[in-house]
Protein backbone atom coordinates (compact mmCIF):
# COMPACT_ATOMS: atom_id res chain seq x y z
CA UNK A 1 0.00 0.00 0.00
CA UNK A 2 1.73 3.12 -1.18
CA UNK A 3 0.13 6.36 -0.09
CA UNK A 4 0.37 9.78 -1.63
CA UNK A 5 1.00 11.59 1.65
CA UNK A 6 4.25 12.75 3.16
CA UNK A 7 6.16 10.21 5.25
CA UNK A 8 7.59 10.97 8.61
CA UNK A 9 10.19 9.34 10.79
CA UNK A 10 10.75 9.54 14.51
CA UNK A 11 13.21 12.38 15.12
CA UNK A 12 16.92 11.67 15.47
CA UNK A 13 17.68 10.41 18.96
CA UNK A 14 14.11 9.25 19.59
CA UNK A 15 12.60 5.85 18.97
CA UNK A 16 9.38 3.91 19.10
CA UNK A 17 9.06 1.03 21.51
CA UNK A 18 7.06 -1.46 19.49
CA UNK A 19 4.69 -4.11 20.89
CA UNK A 20 7.34 -6.85 20.47
CA UNK A 21 9.61 -5.02 22.91
CA UNK A 22 7.11 -3.60 25.31
CA UNK A 23 6.83 -6.80 27.34
CA UNK A 24 10.43 -6.37 28.51
CA UNK A 25 9.62 -2.80 29.54
CA UNK A 26 6.59 -3.98 31.49
CA UNK A 27 8.74 -6.47 33.30
CA UNK A 28 11.34 -3.84 34.12
CA UNK A 29 8.63 -1.53 35.45
CA UNK A 30 6.97 -4.29 37.48
CA UNK A 31 10.30 -5.33 39.04
CA UNK A 32 11.02 -1.70 39.92
CA UNK A 33 7.68 -1.19 41.69
CA UNK A 34 8.09 -4.50 43.49
CA UNK A 35 11.69 -4.10 44.67
CA UNK A 36 11.48 -0.39 45.57
CA UNK A 37 8.31 -0.91 47.62
CA UNK A 38 10.20 -3.47 49.70
CA UNK A 39 12.53 -0.67 50.75
CA UNK A 40 9.74 1.73 51.64
CA UNK A 41 9.94 3.89 48.52
CA UNK A 42 6.77 5.50 47.16
CA UNK A 43 6.27 6.61 43.58
CA UNK A 44 5.97 10.28 42.67
CA UNK A 45 4.99 11.62 39.24
CA UNK A 46 6.06 15.14 38.36
CA UNK A 47 5.49 17.13 35.14
CA UNK A 48 7.66 16.58 32.09
CA UNK A 49 8.51 20.27 31.83
CA UNK A 50 9.60 22.70 34.50
CA UNK A 51 10.90 26.23 34.78
CA UNK A 52 14.32 26.39 33.09
CA UNK A 53 15.75 28.08 36.16
CA UNK A 54 15.13 24.95 38.25
CA UNK A 55 17.68 22.96 36.24
CA UNK A 56 20.16 25.80 35.81
CA UNK A 57 20.25 26.20 39.60
CA UNK A 58 20.46 22.56 40.54
CA UNK A 59 22.24 20.64 37.80
CA UNK A 60 24.73 23.48 37.48
CA UNK A 61 25.24 26.13 34.81
CA UNK A 62 28.69 24.86 33.87
CA UNK A 63 27.58 21.29 33.18
CA UNK A 64 27.19 19.93 29.64
CA UNK A 65 23.52 19.30 30.36
CA UNK A 66 22.67 22.91 31.12
CA UNK A 67 25.13 24.48 28.68
CA UNK A 68 24.13 22.63 25.54
CA UNK A 69 21.71 19.77 26.03
CA UNK A 70 18.46 21.19 27.34
CA UNK A 71 15.29 21.41 25.28
CA UNK A 72 14.31 24.90 26.29
CA UNK A 73 11.57 27.01 24.80
CA UNK A 74 9.64 30.11 25.53
CA UNK A 75 6.02 29.56 26.56
CA UNK A 76 4.28 32.88 27.00
CA UNK A 77 6.64 34.84 29.19
CA UNK A 78 8.08 31.73 30.84
CA UNK A 79 11.25 29.89 29.90
CA UNK A 80 10.36 26.22 30.02
CA UNK A 81 12.60 23.14 29.79
CA UNK A 82 11.80 19.50 29.11
CA UNK A 83 13.30 17.76 32.12
CA UNK A 84 16.84 16.49 31.44
CA UNK A 85 16.83 14.64 34.78
CA UNK A 86 14.35 14.25 37.60
CA UNK A 87 16.12 14.86 40.89
CA UNK A 88 15.52 18.61 40.74
CA UNK A 89 11.79 18.19 39.93
CA UNK A 90 11.35 15.69 42.78
CA UNK A 91 13.10 18.03 45.20
CA UNK A 92 10.99 20.91 43.84
CA UNK A 93 7.83 18.87 44.57
CA UNK A 94 9.15 17.89 48.02
CA UNK A 95 9.68 21.55 48.90
CA UNK A 96 6.49 22.80 47.24
CA UNK A 97 4.30 20.35 49.15
CA UNK A 98 6.32 20.74 52.37
CA UNK A 99 6.86 16.98 52.56
CA UNK A 100 9.64 17.60 55.07
CA UNK A 101 6.89 18.00 57.68
CA UNK A 102 6.25 14.26 57.55
CA UNK A 103 9.85 13.19 58.03
CA UNK A 104 11.47 12.61 61.40
CA UNK A 105 14.99 11.78 62.52
CA UNK A 106 15.72 8.30 61.21
CA UNK A 107 12.62 8.26 58.99
CA UNK A 108 13.39 10.07 55.74
CA UNK A 109 11.04 10.47 52.79
CA UNK A 110 11.81 7.86 50.13
CA UNK A 111 10.53 8.66 46.63
CA UNK A 112 11.01 7.07 43.24
CA UNK A 113 9.98 7.77 39.67
CA UNK A 114 9.99 6.34 36.16
CA UNK A 115 9.66 8.30 32.95
CA UNK A 116 11.10 10.07 29.93
CA UNK A 117 13.98 12.57 30.09
CA UNK A 118 15.25 14.84 27.31
CA UNK A 119 18.80 15.83 26.42
CA UNK A 120 19.99 17.22 23.12
CA UNK A 121 23.03 14.95 22.86
CA UNK A 122 24.75 13.37 19.90
CA UNK A 123 22.81 10.12 19.48
CA UNK A 124 24.73 6.85 19.50
CA UNK A 125 24.21 3.34 20.81
CA UNK A 126 22.79 3.70 24.32
CA UNK A 127 22.49 7.48 24.03
CA UNK A 128 19.27 9.10 22.91
CA UNK A 129 17.63 12.51 23.02
CA UNK A 130 14.49 11.16 24.60
CA UNK A 131 15.37 8.35 26.97
CA UNK A 132 13.82 6.95 30.12
CA UNK A 133 15.05 6.78 33.67
CA UNK A 134 14.13 5.01 36.85
CA UNK A 135 15.31 6.96 39.85
CA UNK A 136 14.99 7.16 43.60
CA UNK A 137 15.60 9.90 46.14
CA UNK A 138 15.98 9.68 49.92
CA UNK A 139 15.26 13.04 51.50
CA UNK A 140 16.12 13.74 55.10
CA UNK A 141 18.84 11.21 55.91
CA UNK A 142 22.48 12.14 56.40
CA UNK A 143 23.39 8.67 57.65
CA UNK A 144 25.80 6.55 55.59
CA UNK A 145 23.25 3.75 56.02
CA UNK A 146 20.89 5.65 53.68
CA UNK A 147 23.59 5.58 50.98
CA UNK A 148 24.35 1.89 51.47
CA UNK A 149 20.73 0.81 51.72
CA UNK A 150 19.73 2.68 48.56
CA UNK A 151 22.68 1.22 46.67
CA UNK A 152 21.66 -2.20 47.94
CA UNK A 153 18.13 -1.61 46.64
CA UNK A 154 19.20 -0.85 43.10
CA UNK A 155 21.78 -3.64 43.24
CA UNK A 156 19.01 -6.10 44.06
CA UNK A 157 16.84 -4.68 41.27
CA UNK A 158 19.68 -5.48 38.86
CA UNK A 159 19.82 -8.97 40.32
CA UNK A 160 16.07 -9.42 39.86
CA UNK A 161 16.47 -8.41 36.21
CA UNK A 162 19.19 -11.01 35.65
CA UNK A 163 21.88 -8.35 35.10
CA UNK A 164 24.83 -10.14 36.65
CA UNK A 165 27.68 -8.80 34.53
CA UNK A 166 27.91 -5.53 36.44
CA UNK A 167 30.40 -3.48 38.42
CA UNK A 168 29.65 -1.02 41.19
CA UNK A 169 32.07 1.93 41.23
CA UNK A 170 32.22 4.11 44.28
CA UNK A 171 33.90 7.36 45.19
CA UNK A 172 33.51 10.42 47.38
CA UNK A 173 33.64 13.97 46.05
CA UNK A 174 33.98 15.61 49.46
CA UNK A 175 31.91 18.51 50.71
CA UNK A 176 31.95 22.30 50.98
CA UNK A 177 34.90 22.07 53.38
CA UNK A 178 37.32 19.83 51.53
CA UNK A 179 36.27 20.18 47.92
CA UNK A 180 37.47 23.80 47.58
CA UNK A 181 40.86 22.67 48.93
CA UNK A 182 40.97 19.97 46.30
CA UNK A 183 39.83 22.35 43.58
CA UNK A 184 42.82 24.53 44.36
CA UNK A 185 45.23 21.62 44.23
CA UNK A 186 43.74 20.46 40.94
CA UNK A 187 43.83 23.95 39.44
CA UNK A 188 47.52 24.26 40.33
CA UNK A 189 48.22 20.88 38.75
CA UNK A 190 46.21 21.70 35.62
CA UNK A 191 47.78 25.11 34.91
CA UNK A 192 50.92 23.93 33.06
CA UNK A 193 48.99 21.16 31.23
CA UNK A 194 46.11 23.27 29.91
CA UNK A 195 47.76 24.57 26.70
CA UNK A 196 47.85 20.98 25.43
CA UNK A 197 44.26 20.20 26.44
CA UNK A 198 40.99 20.59 24.55
CA UNK A 199 38.98 23.81 24.51
CA UNK A 200 36.30 22.34 26.75
CA UNK A 201 38.92 21.51 29.38
CA UNK A 202 40.38 25.02 29.15
CA UNK A 203 36.93 26.41 29.87
CA UNK A 204 36.21 23.85 32.61
CA UNK A 205 39.50 24.68 34.33
CA UNK A 206 38.20 28.21 34.83
CA UNK A 207 34.53 27.54 35.50
CA UNK A 208 34.59 24.26 37.40
CA UNK A 209 37.90 22.36 37.35
CA UNK A 210 36.46 19.05 38.62
CA UNK A 211 34.48 18.84 35.39
CA UNK A 212 37.72 18.13 33.47
CA UNK A 213 37.13 14.49 34.45
CA UNK A 214 34.05 14.52 32.18
CA UNK A 215 36.38 15.03 29.21
CA UNK A 216 35.98 12.47 26.45
CA UNK A 217 39.16 13.35 24.55
CA UNK A 218 41.48 10.37 24.81
CA UNK A 219 44.75 12.34 25.13
CA UNK A 220 43.28 14.50 27.89
CA UNK A 221 41.96 11.49 29.74
CA UNK A 222 45.38 9.89 29.60
CA UNK A 223 46.98 13.00 31.05
CA UNK A 224 44.33 13.23 33.78
CA UNK A 225 45.24 9.80 35.07
CA UNK A 226 48.16 11.54 36.79
CA UNK A 227 46.03 14.27 38.36
CA UNK A 228 45.82 14.55 42.16
CA UNK A 229 42.76 12.87 43.62
CA UNK A 230 40.31 14.14 46.16
CA UNK A 231 41.12 11.22 48.45
CA UNK A 232 44.30 13.06 49.38
CA UNK A 233 42.39 16.19 50.50
CA UNK A 234 39.30 14.72 52.19
CA UNK A 235 38.24 16.32 55.50
CA UNK A 236 37.72 14.02 58.49
CA UNK A 237 33.88 13.92 58.47
CA UNK A 238 33.87 13.11 54.73
CA UNK A 239 36.48 10.41 55.22
CA UNK A 240 34.46 8.91 58.10
CA UNK A 241 31.25 8.97 56.03
CA UNK A 242 32.94 7.21 53.13
CA UNK A 243 34.47 4.59 55.41
CA UNK A 244 31.04 3.88 56.94
CA UNK A 245 29.38 3.50 53.52
CA UNK A 246 32.10 1.06 52.51
CA UNK A 247 31.82 -0.92 55.74
CA UNK A 248 28.07 -1.26 55.32
CA UNK A 249 28.36 -2.37 51.70
CA UNK A 250 30.95 -4.92 52.84
CA UNK A 251 28.55 -6.12 55.52
CA UNK A 252 25.80 -6.42 52.87
CA UNK A 253 28.23 -8.42 50.71
CA UNK A 254 27.86 -6.01 47.80
CA UNK A 255 31.08 -5.94 45.78
CA UNK A 256 32.43 -2.57 44.59
CA UNK A 257 35.57 -0.90 43.38
CA UNK A 258 36.68 2.53 44.51
CA UNK A 259 37.28 4.70 41.44
CA UNK A 260 38.98 7.92 42.44
CA UNK A 261 38.26 9.53 39.05
CA UNK A 262 34.52 9.16 39.37
CA UNK A 263 33.03 12.66 39.74
CA UNK A 264 29.63 12.37 37.98
CA UNK A 265 28.25 14.93 35.57
CA UNK A 266 26.07 17.03 37.87
CA UNK A 267 27.16 19.75 40.24
CA UNK A 268 24.97 18.98 43.21
CA UNK A 269 26.75 15.88 44.46
CA UNK A 270 28.57 15.78 47.79
CA UNK A 271 30.38 12.95 49.48
CA UNK A 272 29.25 9.57 48.09
CA UNK A 273 28.97 9.15 44.33
CA UNK A 274 28.53 5.85 42.53
CA UNK A 275 27.91 4.26 39.18
CA UNK A 276 27.11 0.79 37.97
CA UNK A 277 28.56 -0.20 34.62
CA UNK A 278 27.69 -3.30 32.63
CA UNK A 279 29.51 -5.17 29.93
CA UNK A 280 27.81 -5.56 26.58
CA UNK A 281 26.80 -1.91 26.29
CA UNK A 282 29.74 -0.60 24.27
CA UNK A 283 31.13 2.86 25.02
CA UNK A 284 28.02 4.03 26.87
CA UNK A 285 28.37 1.40 29.55
CA UNK A 286 26.93 3.24 32.57
CA UNK A 287 23.66 1.66 33.66
CA UNK A 288 23.04 4.06 36.49
CA UNK A 289 24.62 6.67 38.65
CA UNK A 290 23.90 8.73 41.69
CA UNK A 291 25.10 10.05 44.97
CA UNK A 292 24.56 12.32 47.92
CA UNK A 293 23.34 15.89 47.45
CA UNK A 294 23.16 17.45 50.88
CA UNK A 295 22.90 21.06 49.73
CA UNK A 296 20.26 20.72 47.02
CA UNK A 297 17.02 20.96 49.00
CA UNK A 298 18.18 24.21 50.56
CA UNK A 299 19.42 25.47 47.20
CA UNK A 300 15.90 24.97 45.86
CA UNK A 301 14.26 26.95 48.63
CA UNK A 302 13.62 24.20 51.17
CA UNK A 303 15.02 23.57 54.63
CA UNK A 304 18.57 22.27 55.06
CA UNK A 305 17.75 18.62 54.45
CA UNK A 306 20.24 16.08 53.13
CA UNK A 307 19.50 13.90 50.11
CA UNK A 308 20.73 10.81 48.35
CA UNK A 309 19.59 9.36 45.03
CA UNK A 310 20.36 7.75 41.72
CA UNK A 311 19.00 7.43 38.20
CA UNK A 312 19.20 4.42 35.91
CA UNK A 313 18.77 4.44 32.15
CA UNK A 314 15.87 2.19 31.19
CA UNK A 315 16.99 1.70 27.56
CA UNK A 316 20.33 0.43 28.83
CA UNK A 317 18.71 -1.84 31.42
CA UNK A 318 16.50 -3.28 28.69
CA UNK A 319 19.58 -3.92 26.51
CA UNK A 320 21.27 -6.11 29.11
CA UNK A 321 18.24 -7.57 30.91
CA UNK A 322 17.57 -11.24 30.77
CA UNK A 323 14.78 -11.11 28.21
CA UNK A 324 13.60 -14.69 28.71
CA UNK A 325 10.67 -13.95 30.98
CA UNK A 326 9.96 -10.61 29.38
CA UNK A 327 8.10 -11.68 26.27
CA UNK A 328 4.94 -9.70 25.81
CA UNK A 329 2.04 -11.92 26.68
CA UNK A 330 0.15 -12.55 23.50
CA UNK A 331 -3.44 -13.64 23.24
CA UNK A 332 -4.58 -16.55 25.39
CA UNK A 333 -6.56 -17.88 22.53
CA UNK A 334 -7.47 -17.14 18.98
CA UNK A 335 -10.94 -18.07 17.84
CA UNK A 336 -10.92 -19.87 14.52
CA UNK A 337 -14.36 -19.18 13.11
CA UNK A 338 -15.66 -21.80 10.67
CA UNK A 339 -18.18 -20.56 8.12
CA UNK A 340 -20.67 -17.74 8.33
CA UNK A 341 -22.66 -19.20 11.23
CA UNK A 342 -19.44 -19.91 13.11
CA UNK A 343 -18.21 -16.37 12.59
CA UNK A 344 -21.46 -14.88 13.87
CA UNK A 345 -21.50 -17.11 16.94
CA UNK A 346 -17.81 -16.43 17.56
CA UNK A 347 -18.47 -12.72 18.05
CA UNK A 348 -20.71 -13.33 21.07
CA UNK A 349 -18.42 -16.05 22.42
CA UNK A 350 -15.39 -13.72 22.20
CA UNK A 351 -17.27 -11.05 24.13
CA UNK A 352 -18.24 -13.38 26.95
CA UNK A 353 -14.71 -14.86 27.20
CA UNK A 354 -13.21 -11.35 27.32
CA UNK A 355 -15.66 -10.40 30.06
CA UNK A 356 -14.21 -13.33 32.03
CA UNK A 357 -10.72 -11.85 31.62
CA UNK A 358 -9.33 -13.95 28.77
CA UNK A 359 -7.26 -12.38 25.99
CA UNK A 360 -9.14 -13.32 22.88
CA UNK A 361 -8.27 -12.63 19.24
CA UNK A 362 -10.91 -12.85 16.52
CA UNK A 363 -10.80 -11.69 12.90
CA UNK A 364 -13.08 -8.78 12.07
CA UNK A 365 -14.30 -10.51 8.97
CA UNK A 366 -14.64 -14.12 7.81
CA UNK A 367 -11.24 -15.55 6.82
CA UNK A 368 -10.10 -18.92 5.42
CA UNK A 369 -9.04 -21.49 8.02
CA UNK A 370 -5.37 -21.45 6.95
CA UNK A 371 -5.12 -17.68 7.31
CA UNK A 372 -6.64 -17.83 10.78
CA UNK A 373 -4.20 -20.54 11.93
CA UNK A 374 -1.25 -18.55 10.61
CA UNK A 375 -2.44 -15.51 12.49
CA UNK A 376 -2.68 -17.52 15.73
CA UNK A 377 1.02 -18.25 15.41
CA UNK A 378 1.89 -14.62 14.65
CA UNK A 379 -0.04 -13.40 17.66
CA UNK A 380 1.69 -15.88 19.92
CA UNK A 381 -1.70 -17.29 20.91
CA UNK A 382 -1.45 -20.30 23.21
CA UNK A 383 -4.68 -21.90 22.09
CA UNK A 384 -6.93 -22.02 19.05
CA UNK A 385 -10.64 -22.45 19.66
CA UNK A 386 -12.65 -23.85 16.75
CA UNK A 387 -16.14 -22.41 16.44
CA UNK A 388 -18.47 -23.60 13.67
CA UNK A 389 -22.20 -24.22 13.29
CA UNK A 390 -21.88 -27.77 14.68
CA UNK A 391 -19.86 -26.70 17.69
CA UNK A 392 -22.33 -23.95 18.51
CA UNK A 393 -25.29 -26.36 18.22
CA UNK A 394 -23.62 -28.97 20.46
CA UNK A 395 -22.14 -26.47 22.88
CA UNK A 396 -18.77 -28.31 22.59
CA UNK A 397 -15.70 -26.74 21.04
CA UNK A 398 -12.33 -28.00 19.88
CA UNK A 399 -9.50 -26.36 21.82
CA UNK A 400 -5.98 -26.86 20.50
CA UNK A 401 -2.88 -26.24 22.55
CA UNK A 402 -0.65 -24.64 19.92
CA UNK A 403 2.64 -25.46 21.62
CA UNK A 404 1.98 -29.20 22.06
CA UNK A 405 -0.43 -29.62 19.17
CA UNK A 406 -2.81 -31.56 21.48
CA UNK A 407 -6.48 -30.91 20.83
CA UNK A 408 -9.40 -31.64 23.15
CA UNK A 409 -13.06 -30.77 23.55
CA UNK A 410 -14.52 -28.33 26.04
CA UNK A 411 -17.86 -26.73 26.72
CA UNK A 412 -18.06 -22.96 27.05
CA UNK A 413 -17.64 -22.98 30.83
CA UNK A 414 -14.54 -25.17 30.46
CA UNK A 415 -12.66 -22.81 28.14
CA UNK A 416 -11.46 -20.40 30.84
CA UNK A 417 -10.19 -23.07 33.25
CA UNK A 418 -8.53 -25.02 30.42
CA UNK A 419 -6.69 -21.93 29.24
CA UNK A 420 -5.58 -20.68 32.66
CA UNK A 421 -4.29 -24.09 33.78
CA UNK A 422 -2.49 -24.62 30.50
CA UNK A 423 -5.09 -27.10 29.28
CA UNK A 424 -3.60 -30.20 30.89
CA UNK A 425 -6.24 -32.85 30.65
CA UNK A 426 -9.19 -30.52 30.98
CA UNK A 427 -12.44 -31.43 29.28
CA UNK A 428 -11.00 -34.38 27.40
P1 LIG B 1 22.73 10.84 34.62
O2 LIG B 1 21.36 11.43 34.88
O3 LIG B 1 23.48 11.58 33.56
O4 LIG B 1 23.49 10.57 35.87
O5 LIG B 1 22.46 9.42 33.97
C6 LIG B 1 21.99 8.33 34.69
C7 LIG B 1 21.78 7.18 33.74
O8 LIG B 1 20.80 7.54 32.76
C9 LIG B 1 23.01 6.83 32.91
O10 LIG B 1 23.81 5.93 33.62
C11 LIG B 1 22.40 6.19 31.70
O12 LIG B 1 22.07 4.84 31.95
C13 LIG B 1 21.12 6.97 31.52
N14 LIG B 1 21.28 8.03 30.51
C15 LIG B 1 21.76 9.28 30.68
N16 LIG B 1 21.72 9.97 29.54
C17 LIG B 1 21.21 9.14 28.61
C18 LIG B 1 20.91 9.27 27.21
N19 LIG B 1 21.12 10.40 26.56
N20 LIG B 1 20.38 8.20 26.57
C21 LIG B 1 20.14 7.05 27.23
N22 LIG B 1 20.40 6.87 28.54
C23 LIG B 1 20.94 7.90 29.22
pTM tops 0.85: yes
Distance (Å, whole) CA 311 – CA 169: 14
Q: Tell which one of 84, 289, 292 to mutate to probe ligand 1, the residue whose CB is within 8 A of the most ligand atoms.
A: 289
Q: Which region, left, alpha or beta, applies to residue 27 given φ > 0 means left and ψ of -120 to 50 means alpha?
A: alpha
Distance (Å, whole) CA 357 – CA 353: 7
Ligand 1 contact via 121 beta carbon (within 6 Å): yes
Q: Identify the pLDDT of residue 328.
A: 56
What values do phi and psi take at 288, rounded to 5? -160, 160
Distance (Å, whole) CA 140 – CA 106: 8
Q: What residues contact 417, with CB distance under 8 A and at least 6 apart? A: 426
What values do phi and psi take at 248, rounded to 5? -70, -40
Distance (Å, whole) CA 204 – CA 214: 10
**Gap from CA of 104 to ligand 1 centroid (Å):** 32
**Gap from CA of 312 to ligand 1 centroid (Å):** 7
167-195 b/e (C-beta count within 10 Å ≥ 16 → b): ebbbbbbbbeebbeebbebbeeebeebee
**Gap from CA of 183 to ligand 1 centroid (Å):** 26
Distance (Å, whole) CA 33 – CA 322: 18
Residues 274/286, Cβ–Cβ less than 8 Å: no
CA 23 from chain centre, in angstroms, equals 14
Q: Identify the pLDDT of residue 325.
A: 53
Q: What residues contact 24, with CB distance under 8 A and at least 6 apart? A: 318, 321, 323, 326, 327, 328
DSSP string, 290-358: EEE-TTHHHHTTS-S--EEEEEEEHHHHHHHS--GGGPPP--SEEEEE-HHHHHHHHHHHHHHHHHTT-
pLDDT along the chain (428 residues), means of 10: 80 94 94 96 98 90 85 96 96 96 92 98 93 97 97 96 95 91 92 93 89 88 90 93 98 95 77 93 90 92 95 95 65 93 95 94 93 88 95 96 94 93 51
**Gap from CA of 185 to ligand 1 centroid (Å):** 30
Residue with the nearest Cα to atom 18 of ligand 1? 127
Ligand 1 contact via 204 beta carbon (within 6 Å): no
Strand ranges inside 173-285, DSSP E:
257-258, 270-278
Nearest-atom number in ligand 1 for the CA of 123 is 19
> Taking the CA atoms of the chain, what radius of gyration do you get in angstroms?
28
Distance (Å, whole) CA 18 – CA 216: 33
Strand, coil or helix: what is 96? helix
Residues 111/269, Cβ–Cβ less than 8 Å: no
**Gap from CA of 4 to ligand 1 centroid (Å):** 39
How far from 371 is each of 41, 356, 417, CA to CA, in Å? 49, 27, 27
Q: Identify the pLDDT of residue 211.
A: 83
Q: Identify the pLDDT of residue 1.
A: 56
Residue with the nearest Cα to atom 20 of ligand 1? 127
Q: Which of 377, 388, 172, 189 is nearest to 292 (CA)?
A: 172
**Gap from CA of 331 to ligand 1 centroid (Å):** 34
Strand, coil or helix: what is 384? strand
**Gap from CA of 199 to ligand 1 centroid (Å):** 24
Q: Identify the pLDDT of residue 427.
A: 39
Which sign does the torsion angle of CA 130, 135, 137, 143 carry? Answer: negative
Q: Tell which one of 60, 115, 126, 133 to mutate to probe ligand 1, the residue whose CB is within 8 A of the most ligand atoms.
A: 133
Ligand 1 contact via 201 beta carbon (within 6 Å): no
Ligand 1 contact via 85 beta carbon (within 6 Å): yes
Nearest-atom number in ligand 1 for the CA of 128 is 20
Distance (Å, whole) CA 408 – CA 402: 12
> Which 3-state string (H, E, C) describes 245-270?
HHHHHHHCCCCCEECCCCCCCCCCCE
Q: Tell which one of 69, 129, 131 to mutate to probe ligand 1, the residue whose CB is within 8 A of the most ligand atoms.
A: 131
Strand, coil or helix: what is 75? strand
**Gap from CA of 313 to ligand 1 centroid (Å):** 5
**Gap from CA of 316 to ligand 1 centroid (Å):** 8
Q: Tell which one of 134, 168, 286 to mutate to probe ligand 1, the residue whose CB is within 8 A of the most ligand atoms.
A: 286
Amino acid sequence: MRGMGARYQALRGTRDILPEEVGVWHRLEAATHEVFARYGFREVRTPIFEATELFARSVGSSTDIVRKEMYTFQSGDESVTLRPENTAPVVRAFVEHALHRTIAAGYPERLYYLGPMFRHERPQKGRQRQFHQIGAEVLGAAEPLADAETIEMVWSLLGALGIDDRELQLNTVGDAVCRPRYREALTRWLAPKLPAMCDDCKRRAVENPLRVFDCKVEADRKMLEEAPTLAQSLCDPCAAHFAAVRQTLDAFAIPYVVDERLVRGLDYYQRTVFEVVARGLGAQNALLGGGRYDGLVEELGGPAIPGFGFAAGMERLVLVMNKAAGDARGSDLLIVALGEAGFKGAIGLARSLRAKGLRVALPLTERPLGAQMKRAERLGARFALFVGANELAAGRFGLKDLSSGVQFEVDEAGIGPAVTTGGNGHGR
